[in-house]
Amino acid sequence: MMSAELRRNLWLEISQTRLAAIPLLLALIFWGLSSMREPDDYQFLSGAALVLFTLICSLWGAHLASSSITEEAQAQTWDWQRLSSQSPAELMVGKLFGSTVLAWYGGAWCLAAHLALTVLTRQLPSANWLCLSIASAVIIQAGSMLLTLSTPPDQRPVHQQKRGMSALRLLIIIIVLQSIGGLGSKLANSNSTVQWYGADIQLLTFVAVSSIFWAAWALFGCVQRLSTLLRCPTTPAPWLIFVVWCMFYFAGFTHVFADIINSKEAISGAAYYCITAYIVALVLALTLALQEDQSPVSWRMWLTALRNRHYPLAWQRTPRWIATLIPVFIALCFAIFETTTTSPWLLSTPLVLLLRDAVILYCLYWTPGRTRPQLAFSIYLLLVYLLLPYLLSPLKLLFYPSMENPALSLMGFGIEAVLAIAFCNYRWKTFYAN
Amino acid sequence: MIEVSNLSYRYATQQALRNVSFLLEPATITALVGPNGAGKSTLLRCMAALDNPFAGSIKLWGCDTHENPRACHQLLGFLSDQFGLYDDLTIEQSLGYMAMAHHLPQHSLQPRVELVSRQLGLSDRMQQKTGELSRGLRQRVAIAQAIMHHPKLLLLDEPASGLDPEARHELSNLLKVLCNEGMTIVVSSHILAELADYSTHMLVLREGVVRSHQALGNNRSTHAQQMQLSLSRHMPEAAHMLSAQTGVSGVHIDGQSCQFTFSGDVVDQSRLLAALIAAGLPIAEFTAIKSNLQDLYLADSGRPS
């Protein structure tokens, strides 16, 4: 049986007028484009069809996908969705592909035109280009929806409800499109290669295959986020698998990292892989700590499950950023093991800084009467990592790890982290323990 | 059975519920009353497994809303005070969508939509878009959506606000029908006179604390309730005759009027009346004394009625 949400969107989006209007409009655009060039410049028109596909499915599609969530908030219908029996996957399919069905319909016409025009130029259509175009559209649409879902629809401030696409989303879409466009000329060159784990791979093939993986992860991310919002039981395992994937994927580009460090020390290739994976996991943990629900209720639920020794439930309720510390720690151990010359203290410092900052974030969230803890935390980050080190440049070592004496530096940050934990514990006991 | 134990809920700046505990029996209608900011909507949202309480538990027929919210969602229907509808869908599409969203079997979708639309008096408007409906009709569509999967528990937050007297009367009748079908209903409202018409119980919430929870005269179950008997002439032996009947206690006679407590349902009441007539009591009036919800509420708040 078709998903209820998909059916609802099809009822709303599909009409005979629209189905007829879209190809007519596209035909007009192609006619306008062809009149600007030689009538038989099929190669130009074939490229234009692909660009049109990207514009329709990525820009318009992203707007529609995002609106499918904001409209629930605006119409105050989100509770119906939460109380229904629809699974997160059903809801994701219904919202993502249902709300964007017209964009995909227009996109399909563009792809058909692209294929037809490519054949007219006596060339074979490139499967890589097709994969890349479709996967990019899915990534952008799903990413846009995921960003909108980062604030639950019922907690979205009224002034945000009417905006289908925030400035942040638009910025991200432009960056993604620009990077695809920037890659375009390189991708078009069949000799361009990329180095991944030391192997030279044709750039277009690599990007096309990667984009399929990333599209799958974007869809999976939407399902996971909807699971949380619909209160379906989930564990941190899928997130950890994603973290491991990111660590593996980005570690493949470790030569870039090696070039940045430009170290004269004899560090093995394996050490570089481990360090890159470690940094990727750290960044993901910090991102999640910023984005996750840090309310006393969720923390208390986790503690209660732990206290009752209900470990499967405790695992479900474990804050995802804390679970991410597992791969972070494993990567750190491997990095220390593999690196003989770089100080283990220096490698451990970012982890301690992450712990300190996350605990401070909790302190801000657990302040009774708090209004904007995330804003306060952003100001804190700005102060600690930018403003104060700049103003107190002679005392820079108070804010950044020392390369000369990393052990002492780590000890200092460790003390700060312990103090932050003690303060956080005091705040919990004062306001929320009973 | 709905069991709420030591429920506490906190917002960032205030505590909305404090150690709220109560039990609700099946097939009852509970009026959830209290001043603005008493925590009524918060309590209903927690009972609907939409919000997580800070502490305490809610069990709907043994299903914990905290541990298993998705299973609880199948048992309940909830209508918030600020509900919304999909304005571009017709009533038929809205109800059909909700039936599909609750995974009702394909063969029962259309019959269920037809039944519920008939119950709510929407049958003749099925092709009208919900965005074009009046407030009262929108309310009916929303209630229809909430009961589409035939929940065991129906939670309604201020369902009568904005309704005209006729629509309120229809709502009252509908709730009675649903309750008679075995549905347990909790209704929060400020309009006490209207709640008194159909509620079997009253739960008073003030500053996040349960002030009282009592049965009212409308109880259709076998609970004891106050009855009144008016006689056409004074009859001193009436007290003795009444006390001899099954289920009768606490008989009090004042002239030609008798008041007593009776344990039994409407069938038992009918039997009692027949027995008393057969015994030769000159009965002019026989009625259950309905508790005045407003009086009870004001008495509870310490204000004169």
Q: From B45, which residue of chain A is nearest by alpha-carbon distance?
A: A79
Residues 274-303 of B with CB under 8 A from A: none
Query: How close does chain A come to B265, measured CA to CA in Å?
Result: 35
Asked if residue A428 has pLDDT above 70, the reply is yes
Residues 365-384 of A with CB under 8 A from B: 368-371
Per CB-CB distance under 8 Å, the chain A contacts of B83 are: 76, 79
Mutation for testing the B interface, residue in A83, A228, A304, A308 having most B CBs under 10 Å: A83
Q: Give me the residues of A, 33-92, that contact B with CB < 8 A.
A: 75-77, 79-86
Would the CB atoms of B54 and A1 count as touching at under 8 Å? no
- Rounded-to-integer distance, Cα B154 and Cα B169, Å: 18
A179 touches chain B (CB under 8 A): no
Min Cα–Cα distance to chain A from B58, Å: 15
Contact present, A232 and A88 (Cβ < 8 Å): yes
Q: What is d(CA A280, CA A288) in angstroms, rounded to the nearest whole number?
A: 12
C-beta atoms of A8 and B78 within 8 A: no
CA angle, corner B190, sides to B189 and B192, nearest 5? 95
Q: How far is CA B280 from CA A293, B15, B283, in A?
A: 73, 60, 9
Distance (Å) from the alpha carbon of B154 to chain A's nearest alpha carbon: 12
Alpha helices in A230-319 (DSSP H): 237-251, 254-261, 269-291, 296-307, 311-317
Q: What is the largest CA-CA distance in chain A?
A: 78
Rg (CA), chain A: 25
Give the mean model confidence (pLDDT) for residues A30-48: 82
- Interface touch A85/B66, C-beta < 8 Å: no
Of the candidates B66, B73, B84, the beta carbon closest to that of A76 is on: B84
Q: Do A85 and B73 touch (CB under 8 A)?
A: yes
Helix, coil or strand: residue B212: strand
**Residues spanned by CATH 3.30.70.100 within chain B?**
224-288
Lowest mean pLDDT among A1-15, A263-277, A363-377, B158-172: A263-277
d(CA A289, CA A373): 12
Please report the ipTM that was assigned to this predicted complex.
0.82
Please indicate whether residue B234 or residue A135 has the higher confidence score (pLDDT).
A135
Residues forming CATH 3.40.50.300 domain(s) in chain B: 2-215
If one counts every other C-beta atom within 10 angstroms of the C-beta of residue A215, the result is 21
Judge whether A357 is closer than 8 Å to chain B, CB to CB.
no
| Interface touch B106/A76, C-beta < 8 Å | no
Structure confidence by residue, pLDDT tens digits, A180-234: 666 666 666 667 888 888 888 988 899 999 999 999 999 999 999 999 999 898 8
Residue B299 has pLDDT above 70, yes or no: no
How many beta-carbon contacts under 8 Å exist across A and B? Answer: 85
The Cα–Cα gap between B100 and A44 comes to: 47
Which residues have CB under 8 Å from A55's CB, separation 6+? Answer: none
Q: What is the pLDDT of residue B305?
A: 46
Position A171: which residue type?
A: L
Query: Own/partner pairs for B251-258, CB < 8 Å, 24+ apart?
Result: B256/B230, B256/B231, B256/B232, B256/B284, B257/B228, B257/B229, B257/B230, B257/B231, B258/B228, B258/B229, B258/B230, B258/B231
Interface residue A163 vs chain B (CB under 8 A): no
Distance CA A36, CA A30 (A): 10
Does the domain spanning B2-215 belong to CATH 3.40.50.300?
Answer: yes
B107 contacts chain A (CB < 8 A) = no
B52·A11 Cβ contact <8 A? no
Are B78 and A79 within 8 A, CB to CB?
Answer: yes
Question: How far is residue A78 CA from its own chain's centroid?
Answer: 23
For the stretch B156-177, pLDDT in tens is 998 887 778 888 888 888 899 9
Task: Determine phi and psi for A359, rounding to 5 degrees.
Answer: -65, -40
Token pair 């049965």 is found at B215
Q: Which residue has the higher pLDDT, B305 or B38?
A: B38
- CB-based contact (8 Å) between B26 and chain A? no
Lowest-pLDDT choice from A6-20, A115-129, A148-162: A148-162
CA-derived radius of gyration, chain B:
22
Q: Does domain B224-288 have CATH number 3.90.1170.50?
A: no
pTM for this model (two decimals): 0.83
